[in-house]
Amino acid sequence: MVSPVKLVMQTMAYAGFAAVIGYFSASPEYTHLDPDLALVKLSFSHAGAPKTECRTLTQQELDELPPNMRRLTDCPRGRVPLLIELEIDGQLVYRDWRPPSGLAGDGASTVYERFPVQPGRHQVAVRLRDSRKTSGFDFEHEDAVEIGQRQNFVIDFRAETGGFRFL
Amino acid sequence: MTGTKRLARAGFEHLESGFDFVFGARWNPLYFLGALAWFFYWIVAVSGIYLYIFFDSGVHSAYESVEYMTHTQWYAAGIMRSLHRYASDALVVVVLLHVIREYIMDRYKDARWFSWIVGIPMLWLLYASGISGYWVVWDQLAQYVAIATTEWLDTLPLFGEPIARNFLHETVLSGRFFSLMVFIHIAVPLILLFVMWIHIQRHMHPSVNPPKGLALGSLAMMLGLSLAYPAVSQGPANLNQVPSTVGLDWFYLTLYPLLDVYSGEMLWVVVIAATFGLVIMPWFPPRHRAAAAKVDLPNCNGCGRCVADCPYSAITLEPRSDGDYHPKEAVVDAAKCVSCGICAAACPTASPYRRRAALVPGIELPDATIAYLRRASTEAVEHLSGPARVLVYGCQTGVPIEDLQDSAVAAVKIPCLGALPPSFLDFVISRRMVDGVLLVGCREGDCRYRLGQEWTRQRLAQQRDPYLPGRVSRERIAICWAGIGQLGKTAVQLEAFRNRLSGLAGSTGNGNLATASAQAAEHMETHG
């Protein structure tokens, strides 16, 4: 038979353990972004242009291939990296070359970047070069946007719908 | 054992002493951390099954279904939700304590590497189960967990496209990935259960259920916490807004704040290095491994007592290989043997009375043979004098019993108290080589080799073969369960035992307590 004193001590031990479990299961709170800020997220996945143009095979080259592999063009798998720039209020906050994914470098390039900003009105400009050209950009989008406190402002890109879009 | 670890062990045992005082050794939660982990797992599983009945696994309706459970059906599903969360948290605590304790007590090396290594993926699975659970509630914490986890996973070169893009914005949110997480939250705990089962495969009589009192206390604690402080959600997830401040579950999400300080890659390096460190621990630093038990076929009749008593399932009965008429023989799997010697004490041939020239039982430890034990016992008591001569048998890794020796006290160390054949007590007492025997084992309820204490108790109480002969006076035997740092306590009990012996009639082996029983064993412990 457990003595009343020990029963009380056991109860206290259980209560202590429960208090630790209860408290640390949701406390203390963690702030991973200043609540007075907002977040601009630049993220998209897009495949750059092939590194080189497809080449038409000569008749001799075709003849040397097995009949089931005789394709008229030879298209190298590699793709160019994407050049991405992001300007907020005239300041370049991001510029990077994003390599294509895949072992053969033939997959899409991806970007996923976060930029905490003060809420308010901002001039946001984003540019992308996905071709083999050596200067300039293939897609550009610039707009003045109102970003609210704690807003998750997303810059996405869909080539099939015309390019950049602000969400 | 290093000095640091010895110090840590003494500290841990100090803590355990406190719990012993409050709960008693039979209910001390620190002795049942593994069993408590199983217990909390079952609470999580049962509550999870109940919650799944009411849970809507669609990403746009999951939050509402959890809110319904929490508030509308607070009396059942709400309590179940709280039990689900708090038992999961308690599971992490007892599992981590279990790991730390096994490390400090040096119970992860040699043959025990198997359970240690199997335990490592269990840690990963446990965290994956918990983290995926927070995800499926789809509140603001879930949003933070989903984004932080996928961003962290994206730092690994595994995914062609960042999986964090699944949670980019409300307009692109897809239920498919969410459904995958619900599936993961069910599948991973099931895999965890399977690995838990593997974890105990090398244990004979694994401790998977805490004592009833401790189980009831723990359940009451969980229920009380669930009623007093119900688990609630942290507002619906909204990917258009950043959940800048969240109430973290620090038991599962401890590392997450580090993702805001260090790169995801660096954190992967840390957790993978930590995992690798845990993997090599059983072999680092390398140490001499005691020889496994050895079977002597001419003395083995295949009775199976060693098989029944081995705590680590290291012995099996196999068809006879030597042409003897007995159908079976004991076979030791050296890889599983922890060299505790419990098998030797279980062997009916391990008797110091044997008159053969060479005392070789059917099974014994090459490093601590029965012949050595007889020689050590007889030599140790030779010099003893006085009215209350005591021979102390103690566990090798326990209290330094050699420090108790004086003109009337001798000490012999054995690998485990369970490695002492009861006939040795008869041998030294009935032959009046000593007036009494003090058995010093590990802390009560915490046998280093799991079952040594229990088997010793049962053998002395004549409940398990080989019995302590009835003619041995139980008053001349005392048991002291003590931790490595409890030499003082042992000395006090030894002194009290010697005082009692002084009051006894001089003759030993008088058979006045010939009928042994469990009560007798209890008497010995209580008064020892």
B238-248 residue pLDDT tens: 999 999 899 99
Q: Tell me, what's the pLDDT at B174?
A: 78
Kindly state whether residues B188 and B312 are assigned to the same domain.
no
**Sole residue written with tokens 């003590």:** B482
Which residue segment(s) compose the domain that B518 sits in? Answer: 294-527
The model's pTM: 0.88
User: What percent of the residues of chain A are helix, what percent strand, and what percent coil, each to the nearest 5?
Assistant: 20, 45, 35
Query: B272 CB contacts (<8 Å, ≥6 apart)?
Result: none
Portion of chain A with pLDDT greater than 90, in percent? 60
Residue B357: pLDDT band (50, 70, 90) is low
Nearest CA in chain A to B87: A21
Residue where one domain finishes, among candidates B233, B260, B283: B283
Q: Which of B79, B242, B262 to mutate to test the interface with A (most CBs of A within 10 A)?
A: B242
CATH number at residue B46: 1.20.810.10
- The answer to whether residue B198 sits within a structural domain is yes
Q: What's the CA angle centered on A147, arms A146 and A149, to 5 degrees? A: 135
- The answer to whether residue B251 sits within a structural domain is yes
Kindly state whether residues B379 and B257 are assigned to the same domain.
no
User: Is the pLDDT reported for residue B527 higher than 50?
Assistant: no
- Domains identified in chain B, total number: 2
User: Is the pLDDT reported for residue B528 higher than 50?
Assistant: no
What are the chain B neighbours of A22 within 8 Å (beta carbons)?
86, 225, 228-229
Kindly state whether residues B299 and B277 are assigned to the same domain.
no
Q: List the one residue out of A127, A37, A31, A45 whose CA is nearest residue B244.
A: A31
Residue B514: C-alpha distances to residues B131, B426, B438, B460 (Å) = 60, 12, 19, 12
Q: Which of B36, B158, B221 to mutate to test the interface with A (most CBs of A within 10 A)?
A: B221
Kindly state whether residues B206 and B267 are assigned to the same domain.
yes
When mean pLDDT is compared across A54-58, B36-40, B271-275, B512-516, the lowest value belongs to B512-516
Average pLDDT over residues A87-112: 91
pLDDT digits (tens, 9 = 90+) for B132-151: 999 999 999 999 999 999 99
Residue B209: burial class (beta carbons within 10 Å; 0-12, 13-18, 19+) = middle
Query: B235 CB contacts (<8 Å, ≥6 apart)?
Result: B139, B140, B243
* CA pair distance B23, B28, nearest whole angstrom: 5
User: Which residues of chain A approach chain B closer than 8 Å at the C-beta?
Assistant: 2, 6, 9-10, 13-15, 17-18, 20-22, 24-35, 37-39, 41, 43, 45, 101-102, 107-108, 110, 112, 150-152, 154, 156, 167
Kindly state whether residues B279 and B298 are assigned to the same domain.
no
Q: Tell me, what's the pLDDT at B439?
A: 97
User: Is the pLDDT reported for residue B525 higher than 60?
Assistant: no
Q: Tell me, what's the pLDDT at B510?
A: 36
Kindly state whether residues B302 and B264 are assigned to the same domain.
no
User: Is the pLDDT reported for residue B523 higher than 50?
Assistant: no
Residue where one domain finishes, among candidates B233, B250, B283: B283
A38-51+80-166, CATH topology level = Immunoglobulin-like (2.60.40)
Kindly state whether residues B108 and B141 are assigned to the same domain.
yes
Q: Count of CB atoms within 10 A of residue B479's CB? A: 24
What secondary structure does DSSP assign to B243-308, as a single string?
A: --EEE--TTT-TTGGGGGTS-HHHHHHHHHHHHHHHHHGGGSS--PPPPPPEE-GGG-----HHHH
Preceding amide of B319 cis, omega within 30: no
When mean pLDDT is compared across B5-9, B127-131, B206-210, the lowest value belongs to B5-9
Average pLDDT score, chain B? 91
Average pLDDT over residues B154-169: 88
* CA pair distance B312, B338, nearest whole angstrom: 8
Q: What residues does B245 pair with on adjacent strands?
A: A31
Q: What residues does B392 pair with on adjacent strands?
A: B411, B438
Residue where one domain finishes, among candidates B252, B283, B314: B283
Token pair belonging to A84: 């991405």
Kindly state whether residues B340 and B408 are assigned to the same domain.
yes
Residue B1: pLDDT band (50, 70, 90) is low
pLDDT digits (tens, 9 = 90+) for B433-463: 999 999 999 989 889 999 999 999 999 999 9
Give the β-pairing of B363-364 and B315-319: unpaired
B244 and A18: CB-CB below 8 Å? Answer: no
**Sole residue written with tokens 């090398």:** B202
